[in-house]
Amino acid sequence: MTDANDGDRLVPIEPDPDAVLNESERAKITLDSLGDAVISTDLPGNVTYLNAVAERMTGWRRDEAVGRPLGRVLRIVDAATREIKPNPMNLAVRMNETVGLSSNCVLVRRDGFETAIEDSAAPIRDRRGRLTGAVLVFHDVSAARAASLQVSHLASHDGLTDLPNRMLLNDRLAQAIESARRHRHKLAVLFLDLDRFKGVNDSLGHGIGDQLLQSVATRLLASVRRSDTVSRHGGDEFVVLLSQVEQADDAAASSRKMLGALATPFEVAGRDLHVTVSIGVSVYPDDGQDSETLIENADTAMFCAKARGGNLFQFFRPEMNARALTRHWMESDLRNALRRHEFVLCYQPKINLETGAVTGVEALLRWMHPERGLMLPAQFLSIAESANLIVPIGRWALREACGRAREWLDAGQPMRVALNLSAIEVRDRELPAYISTALAESRLDPSCLELELTENALMHQTESTTRTLKALRHMGVQIAVDRFGTGYSSLRYLRDCPVDSLKIDRSFVHEITPDPGAVSIIGAAIGMAKSLQCRVVAVGVETPRQLAVLQALGCDEAQGDYLGPAVMAENFAIGERSEIVRAAEAANAREFADRPYDAIVGERRVMLSEGQRVAIGRAATRTQILPPD
């Protein structure tokens, strides 16, 4: 300011002490109102001030903290290593500029409570620009860091099982390969696929299936070391990384352990569910030098294990790649086969063994491949099943068979046509509705259609299977159990399911001549069928002798090349096979004419060998041995 008596001379005005005090109070009030914590120090690094937020976050009151070294009041550690972080104030003073804390810092409160923080420190200067200390501003980022960690976890882990996903597996596998390369040791990759898991989802629902996958994941984790990785590859597939193995036998031991861990039934929603798994194994460096190759080769080996029936493990072999390539092109061709009308049905007659009349036909699927020619179901059905093509192929066969039966009926030759159902089709909830539609479209009476399913299909998921079969039987469709004697069926399941006929597997029919024990099994099956009021059909009859024994045992019907091979519909002749049946009876009489034993089977007297006679006497309740004439 300028005094009037002194001209232009400047006169300094002393600051008002009260104004300075008020300014300091306003600054403290302002700092206490901030959402961030603030701590200041002098040049030696002793605390000169804490605002209210800093008091709460450090656990130190201002009057306790002032004058103490900052390291005593503010303890910051690295969240991962737990190492003490350097004092950011010292760095700010030394560099004479604002600096920030490194990421992943955690503030340890006076009582030990930890808080994730982010902060920055800056030097403090007085009015003359002289360095007098430093100030640290920090805030709680626990919620934001937790959210970030959660997002990162979700991006690298499976949402259902919380196992590492493909991305994290590939990262760990790449690191494991690099470590194995440096230290010259092996590692193994195991590719696991649950056997017939789709049936669980189809019959019990995806909720039960998801719970089962979670339980499987828990058991797999308990079967490996902490250093190993169990990941979910997708669907019902898991990949296990054994990060260090001394030899291939170590991977085999781990595979056996996993098979054993999954062998015990899973209790899910009050149900006991049985699960098996197919495992493919590849070993570094023998089976691949990179992650992609190792996983692909383990996957290839897994398919080979599944092709052998599942519930086992298989090591990768180079020749498997050729099979995998064949499988790939076959799956691709299968997807086009329906559109290109490459599937055909052949029909094999079923013969009444009393009269020789044709009682029906079995429709048998064939694939007329444009390059490989006629292919039988055993050559492609397992691939169709894994490619989810069984249902569309089965629906085509159903429409085709119903249409053919209608043509025979219109020609005055009514014929019951039998069609095989896979386990997947039996578990399809839409099956009854689709069959009803196919019958309506072809104007075919339901009694003209017979559906065959194997014993194993009958046993799997019994409740849902029984409901489906009862719905079909209520429509008037006939039900047959195919390959009877090869599965795990029992009288209880046969009693509960609406079965019209039992088909004795060809393996027993083929052994009739050399093995009297086979006669015993067939006799027992016939006795069981009669007690359940079911027809008995023998499959695979190829010789007169087989036919003669089946006649003697009282078998109702038979089919096989001796009675009539499977042929295309246009080549099928509907006529009696009475001459074949009578010839077999005559052959039977000539074959055993010199034997002193005969028997009564049903109401008929036949000649049998001693071994056959004894076997039938033990097994068939309707057979009674007569003394020699």
Contact between residue 288 and residue 282 where contact means Cβ atoms under 8 Å apart: yes
**pTM recorded for the entire structure:** 0.54
Over range 610-623, report the average pLDDT: 38
Give the tens place of pLDDT for each residue, 443-468. 999 999 999 988 766 765 557 777 88
Lowest mean per-residue pLDDT among 54-58, 82-86, 222-226: 82-86
Domains of the chain as residue ranges with CATH = 17-146 (3.30.450.20), 158-318 (3.30.70.270), 331-577 (3.20.20.450)
Total length of the chain? 629
pLDDT of residue 15: 58
Q: pLDDT (tens digit, 9 = 90+) per residue, 182-208?
A: 999 999 999 999 988 887 887 788 899
pLDDT for 298 equals 94
Residue type (1 letter), 296: E
CB-based burial label for 529 (10 Å; 0-12, 13-18, 19+) = buried
pLDDT one-digit tens code per residue, 92-138: 777 878 887 777 888 999 999 988 888 888 888 888 888 888 898 88
Point out the least confidently predicted range of 2-11, 150-159, 333-342, 411-420: 2-11
Burial of 308 (0-12, 13-18, 19+ CB in 10 A): exposed
pLDDT at 620: 38
Long-range Cβ pairs for the range 603-612 (8 Å, 24+): 604/552, 604/554, 606/548, 606/551, 606/552, 608/549, 608/552, 609/516, 611/516, 611/519, 612/516, 612/519, 612/549, 612/552
CA dihedral 543, 545, 546, 548 (to 10 degrees): 130
Q: In the chain, what percentage of residues exceed pLDDT 70?
A: 82
